[in-house]
Structure 1
């Protein structure tokens, strides 16, 4: 309802706000963050005394295809760059999470289903026929002397005879083996996939060798046990790895191949040289060659030799089924080889998209962070998704007739983008995945979203758009954890570690900070912490330091709480300045009075011709039967002219401007403060959108009022019209309120295909038929 507002010459009155207990949503985060020091500064940059350890490896490994076994021997050179003396070292034995006495099996919750498959029972019993885990055969120092060690599940402590002093290095040798897991049966990041139709296997060998744990300035040894979910914290180093496999296998690996002349045919070497300057992927190993190798298995072995510099891990894939394509990508004047390896079952999707996606990902991430520093980037088809330096494993296979669903296509492009992107987070910007999964998965999912949207318009991204995280944030709070939660304790892992932080960063970029400020600050973080070990504090501080935007309220709300965004319009009061002209205002007041005083009985009496006493006896009428308080007199008109004459030019402009004053009462229902984005739709059909910074909630965290002044009448107000803030309740975003029916559908549930395999019944196959 419009209210006529009398002009006060000095100021506008401000109504009193209801008082609420302040919850400190805009207090600084200092008490939650580690104190700055000589290793990590208050700006978020590494300090002048920052240090980190180094681990270099020389490894000889053999893939035993007959027994599905890895047999290895490695020399580790560990350099203590810390100021501390170390009396023991910690080594990660990640395969031990599959050992028979693994805590991973013991702490995994389980229930007895009404109907159980063999696979269900197999998992419940901990795969009793599989002997998993690293089998340590020998551990000696560089002189061949035995070293004392203790294995505590997935961690091995090596006790040193003499302390390793600051600046010193130590070398030791480990011999070991383990039985490779059947990934289709047991799951896992690595393992083997057996193809029964042609009696061949694809191997993805990951977490396969004993690896040094991280020792750092803020927690000492990162020796938290590996239970299967929290990934890895690893130091950087150089690798020399000799991989012996069946002689007809093709190996995809971290690093650069050193003996191509011994491994590749002359034709393959020619193709390799051609691929370096090609505009499209060039087949190094063709589909025909791979199919021939499948049918005619060789009996000998070959050794592929690789070298990798400044990497934090090493992985490889091996199979005679591999088709291999490659092309060079220009990254700021340097050629990086983008490559893909895949079986014939992935043909039709992978030969078209995989290497192109690798190239595109490198370009976008290099722009957003640092130029990709390694010589190669590899995507391997392996029916899963997992990442390592320079190499990753991804899914995506068409149906047997060569068609594929949109979901399979975009799922494949998305997972390749994501896993290749992991080269930057955390393989280069080396956060601790086991402690803060979101620093790895969330930051990567955010840049993945940017890359997807630059792949094609309106790419169907799963994570990043604010609206996609709403179902999670409006869910049952007992099943939600803050982002700042250790990975093993997270509920709804994908939403917590991937989706919510990716959405938060996208909102920062698009809505809170703007692209220019955000992109500079984000790139600064990447440049500061490339090839180092950042923590959340380093990210939070750098983004503020490089942008001059105080974001403590944002980190507190999005990362330390589970509160959702829900900003409501509770009420709108509409005011117009009174013209003070009695000939204009009094008729309006009379009409409003009559409307508010309306009664049904006199109205019906009139319609039925009921005669009142004063109608039949007009002599009873007096002054008050004729007088109306809103009748205009000459005295009223004279007072108005006197008033107008007393106004200055600005006051006259206000009086005659016809402006509309809308006092809007907002409520922070969800608790998470965010900017108020307000769309106003005017009576003439035009629209305008205003953005109020989140700091409007800094004094009153629960309710605020704001006056908006317009020249035109507003017929509707709407909060967050483009779904930028992940507001969980759109119905309270409108004034006047709207009432829209919810809809539901009937459907028949269909059995889906295995992960990565397109269903036979898909959009493409239906169109062709």
Structure 2
């Protein structure tokens, strides 16, 4: 071999090796069962590979002492707070970051600047006014002073919704630092401007409900994962907050009732003897006890007392604090037994929310605590509150919800079940993220998705056939099959999510329900999910901690599931591509001869033969029999001598089990499945037999390990199959059911005939009577 020849051979070998390596690498990189190791952070002493907190896990703490007052005429909140910040980290801190969330409403807010706008054919004045904020509204935190405990001014810098407090000297590990902030802000008209908190004034009586949220300067989170979490608050990404203890005094008009995070410290100064008596009765009641009645609230609406009162609340180990205040509040309560501990479930609501809230709200609070405690941890706080404020938002021990009937007291099923669902959802947020304290500013799904999943469980325990909006696989199909440019992976930052509700609420909730019902099974899932809640209660979990814990506690490899459902926008669409009936060759000449001839006889005749039979075409050999010979009676499908001899030898080698299996009539089907949507999932196939019975087979998703595009599976049946159906119970969110059948089924599309538009069905009109109103008219 010449040197040139050797060189060429070596080059070709190198190219072949490179191509092989590239092909293998390409398969590895695109393999849907590739482990998530590269996407997840490396385990360390703070967060382990099992998903549990590490032996050196730490988190910061921030305690607050706050005095606040509401000016009802100016709609202004004025406050002064002292914050004690505990540096439990191993790091030296030279500054602290503080969240000023009200600055989202400042006139120069980036929220207004980055908001996309369009002017439609019909645009009202409020919509135009909101393009650059509301010019007549001076929003944002107005910082009056920032001082240390000795009254010395501290240096600080405000960057939009974040404030950096420069420490006079570095804060060492294990040390604490106290400082005070005085501020005020103008409370927003929530119905006009939107927002999680604000005020609502009732035109009929001139009274106001205040829902006070994101109202005080709050410490940002400093942790082992991000350092400071100081992403700007733009509106969607909610809140990352540290745990701490709160001592809060709230001064409001003297006839107001204040619903708040924490426990009331001065009931003797605030409540009447009758109200205290009713509250004590409520602790052991089996149904809600009214503490402030509608009649009493209506009286206060008319008289409007002068002067103020100060309500004093304390809360331990919470990550936030919120309250509601109004003279319009009706108040009811009942005790709930959570594993031997009495928790007060309570509701506050205006008369406009009755009778719905009086009948359902506190019961829904109690139900939520019971169901969520069963699936996560025992509810640890002393109270859980639902406030009707025509919105939906959550805080520790308190949430604000909607649900007002018509003025005649009737309501539609949409309002009833919407109200119950929003109460379950917002009360449920006590668990996610108020206790299992994820970073909402970064990962909305970790609180909204997990909570919506638990909400679905609670709804289904409320009543049979509860009309749950999110959770069932079928309900996410339209979103999953939408245009990919309008869909984001679940693992997307909160401010960049497209279709926020579907992405952060619906899809993760559905994914978890599929994981529970179809992939893991309830026993394994429930144990692992509860383990996650117990591990990370009162701590700061990240996505990897959830993924790893679910696998660690179940021994189920779920990386393929997290990758597909959470990291991509692929959809589930598995098709039955082909079905072949495979018949056993018994090698018995008599049996096989009959099969061959039956198959031939079943074949359709060609058109010439059909026409010849129609005219009774005569043949020469029939007129002259002497023309016939051996081959006129010979059938090539007949078994011959060699076939019989071969069968004798074959039969001698069969044992009794072989003969029994051959004697039993088996029907063998080879089915080819195609992954059209890209998202690998278990194959769930129902074999519907000719006798009307059926059999459902669950094939794990791992069948796609070696080929995630096309796989085949053989089914050996004792009776003939009439129909094959994929995902018969619609449990995988398959976006195309037409290819789930073999033989294919005709898809029915209904239509109506109409003439000149006169017979077209009437569309839904919000002004129509609800079913309760119709029923009343029917009785007349």
Same fold per TM (> 0.5)? yes
Q: Which residue of 2 aligns with 1:7?
A: none
Q: Which residue of 2 aligns with 1:584?
A: 591
CA contact (8 A) 1:400 1:760 kept: no
- Which deviates more, 419-428 or 638-647? 638-647
Q: Which residue of 1 aligns with 2:769?
A: 761
CA contact (8 A) 1:576 1:658 kept: no
CA RMSD of aligned residues (A): 1.5
Q: Which residue of 2 aligns with 1:278?
A: 285
Aligned pair partner of 2:169 in 135, 146, 162: 162
Q: Which residue of 1 aligns with 2:470?
A: 463
* Structure 1: distance between partners of 2:604 and 2:402: 72
Q: Which residue of 1 aligns with 2:519?
A: 512
Q: Does 1:427 align with 2:434?
A: yes
Q: Which residue of 2 aligns with 1:45?
A: 52
SS in 2 for 1:629: coil
* Structure 2: distance between partners of 1:688 and 1:468: 26
Q: Which residue of 2 aligns with 1:327?
A: 334
Q: Does 1:531 align with 2:535?
A: no
Q: For residue 637 of structure 1, report the CA deviation from its aligned partner.
A: 4.9
5+ residue gaps in structure 2?
1-23, 753-759
- Which deviates more, 250-259 or 647-656? 647-656
CA contact (8 A) 2:190 2:200 kept: yes
Q: Does 1:697 align with 2:742?
A: no
* Structure 2: distance between partners of 1:130 and 1:147: 29
- Which deviates more, 596-605 or 533-542? 596-605
Q: Which residue of 2 aligns with 1:719?
A: 726
SS in 1 for 2:145: strand
Aligned pair partner of 1:237 in 234, 239, 244: 244
SS in 2 for 1:124: coil
State the TM-score, normalized to the length of structure 2: 0.94
Q: Does 1:662 align with 2:669?
A: yes
Deviations 1:223-274 (A, max 9, x none): 0000011000000000000000000000000000000111111111110000
Q: For residue 641 of structure 1, report the CA deviation from its aligned partner.
A: 4.7
Q: Which residue of 1 aligns with 2:366?
A: 359
* Structure 1: distance between partners of 2:378 and 2:233: 32
* Structure 1: distance between partners of 2:302 and 2:463: 39
CA contact (8 A) 1:399 1:760 kept: no
Q: Which residue of 2 aligns with 1:376?
A: 383
Q: Does 1:60 align with 2:67?
A: yes
Q: Which residue of 2 aligns with 1:453?
A: 460
Q: How does 1:250-399 map to 2 (within 5 A)?
A: 250-399=257-406
Q: Does 1:142 align with 2:154?
A: no
Distance 1:68 1:146, change over 3 A: same
Distance 1:660 1:765, change over 3 A: same
Q: Which residue of 2 aligns with 1:4?
A: none
Q: For residue 118 of structure 1, report the CA deviation from its aligned partner.
A: 1.2
Q: For residue 63 of structure 1, report the CA deviation from its aligned partner.
A: 0.8
CA contact (8 A) 2:113 2:132 kept: no
CA contact (8 A) 1:404 1:760 kept: no
Q: Does 1:212 align with 2:219?
A: yes
Q: For residue 615 of structure 1, report the CA deviation from its aligned partner.
A: 2.4
SS in 2 for 1:356: helix
Deviations 1:552-571 (A, max 9, x none): 00000000000000111001
Q: Does 1:685 align with 2:692?
A: yes
CA contact (8 A) 2:46 2:224 kept: yes
* Structure 2: distance between partners of 1:633 and 1:109: 83
Deviations 1:556-606 (A, max 9, x none): 000000000011100111112133333332122113224447322123212
Q: Which residue of 2 aligns with 1:74?
A: 81
* Structure 2: distance between partners of 1:515 and 1:76: 44
Deviations 1:739-764 (A, max 9, x none): 11223676544454xxxxxx662111
Aligned pair partner of 2:419 in 402, 412, 417: 412
Aligned pair partner of 1:86 in 93, 115, 125: 93
* Structure 1: distance between partners of 2:723 and 2:289: 57
* Structure 1: distance between partners of 2:719 and 2:408: 61
Q: Does 1:151 align with 2:152?
A: no
* Structure 1: distance between partners of 2:617 and 2:702: 63
- Which deviates more, 145-154 or 643-652? 643-652
* Structure 2: distance between partners of 1:587 and 1:381: 78
CA contact (8 A) 1:396 1:408 kept: yes
* Structure 2: distance between partners of 1:653 and 1:543: 46
* Structure 2: distance between partners of 1:581 and 1:218: 72
CA contact (8 A) 2:283 2:342 kept: yes
* Structure 1: distance between partners of 2:44 and 2:740: 45
Aligned pair partner of 2:499 in 467, 489, 492: 492
Q: Which residue of 2 aligns with 1:650?
A: 657
CA contact (8 A) 1:578 1:655 kept: no
* Structure 2: distance between partners of 1:457 and 1:744: 32
CA contact (8 A) 1:38 1:47 kept: yes
* Structure 2: distance between partners of 1:88 and 1:744: 68
Q: How does 1:435-450 map to 2 (within 5 A)?
A: 435-450=442-457
SS in 1 for 2:544: helix
Q: Which has the higher contact order (CA 8 A, sep 6+)?
A: 1
SS in 2 for 1:577: coil
* Structure 1: distance between partners of 2:44 and 2:717: 52
* Structure 1: distance between partners of 2:163 and 2:172: 20
Q: Which residue of 2 aligns with 1:557?
A: 564
Q: For residue 119 of structure 1, report the CA deviation from its aligned partner.
A: 1.6
* Structure 2: distance between partners of 1:126 and 1:603: 83
* Structure 2: distance between partners of 1:110 and 1:152: 25
SS in 1 for 2:437: coil
Q: Which residue of 1 aligns with 2:181?
A: 174
CA contact (8 A) 1:52 1:82 kept: yes
Q: For residue 206 of structure 1, report the CA deviation from its aligned partner.
A: 0.2
* Structure 2: distance between partners of 1:76 and 1:207: 16
* Structure 1: distance between partners of 2:50 and 2:590: 65
SS in 2 for 1:588: helix
Q: For residue 110 of structure 1, report the CA deviation from its aligned partner.
A: 0.5
Q: For residue 345 of structure 1, report the CA deviation from its aligned partner.
A: 0.4
SS in 2 for 1:680: strand
* Structure 2: distance between partners of 1:239 and 1:533: 19
SS in 1 for 2:735: coil
State the TM-score, normalized to the length of structure 1: 0.95
Q: Which residue of 1 aligns with 2:4?
A: none
Q: For residue 115 of structure 1, report the CA deviation from its aligned partner.
A: 2.3
Q: Which residue of 2 aligns with 1:8?
A: none
* Structure 1: distance between partners of 2:643 and 2:557: 55
Deviations 1:95-134 (A, max 9, x none): 0000000000000000222222112112124111110000
SS in 2 for 1:684: coil
Q: For residue 644 of structure 1, report the CA deviation from its aligned partner.
A: 2.7
* Structure 1: distance between partners of 2:251 and 2:761: 52
* Structure 2: distance between partners of 1:531 and 1:21: 42
Q: Does 1:547 align with 2:557?
A: no
* Structure 1: distance between partners of 2:673 and 2:120: 49
